[in-house]
Amino acid sequence: DTVNNPPPVLIQFAGGDDVDTICAGNSSTITAFGGTSYVWSTGQTTNPITVNPVSNSSYFVTATDASGCTGTDTFRVVVISASINSSCSGGNVLLTASNGTSYLWSTGATTQSISVSPASVTDYYVTVTNSCGQLKDTISVSPPANAIVSNDTTIEYGTTIQLSASGGVNYLWSTGEISSNITVTPLENATYMVTITDASGCSDTAIINITIDDSRHAISVPSIFSPNKDGINDIIKVHG
């Protein structure tokens, strides 16, 4: 005999669509059809469920019918909110708002994007007008990347020294190391370069020059000697 596997449960959602668009701060009620019991990715087993996402989210549901057959489907909730993205532009930080038809920044600007270069950590906010009304978002911006590094220095031959950099969130040294501090033991005059990158993607580069003082290891050779057995400069001696 041939055994036919029953088809999976076909899940449908109220409204005939598997997506709901809401304004930030609002909730969405999701109702599924097709089964007699439901388990949602939120852990809830009721139907419908009400969710309050702060950003675009997906919710999975598994439905079981009276015969024990199951099916799975996904419902998406799109949240309309004000948002600010930051990027680096010509050494300044470019702030770009989205999801609006008009914009008003705390600087007074009314463009979608503004370029800022604060001298210290500064909060910028934007009021976005769209179908949901007026929504606000805030972003904290640090001064554009400025590499601060150890001073150039002179060390004795064979000395190990720590080089430090600050001003960013990511670091890349000419040695290939990616920490803010590195330890080096140069055996000759050397230049070390570090590139820092800040949270906005802006970068800056600085160099540290290390000079080797090998005077203690210098070799001294007399320019003349007189091997005449008078006890003066009879033997040439190399010092170092």
User: Which two tokens mark 189?
Assistant: 């005059």
Report whether pLDDT(222) > 80: no
pLDDT digits (tens, 9 = 90+) for 182-193: 999 999 999 999
Give which of 25, 133, 135 is closest to 84, Cα–Cα.
135
Q: Which two tokens stand for residue 125?
A: 């906010």
Whether 224 has a pLDDT exceeding 80, the answer reads no
- Judged on CB neighbours under 10 Å (0-12, 13-18, 19+), 186 is middle
pLDDT surpassing 80 at residue 130? yes
Q: How far is CA 39 from CA 28, 47, 56, 99, 214, in A?
A: 17, 9, 21, 33, 75
Distance, in Å, from the CA atom of 119 to the CA atom of 49, rounded to the nearest integer, reads 48
Are 75 and 20 spatial neighbours (Cβ–Cβ below 8 Å)?
Answer: yes
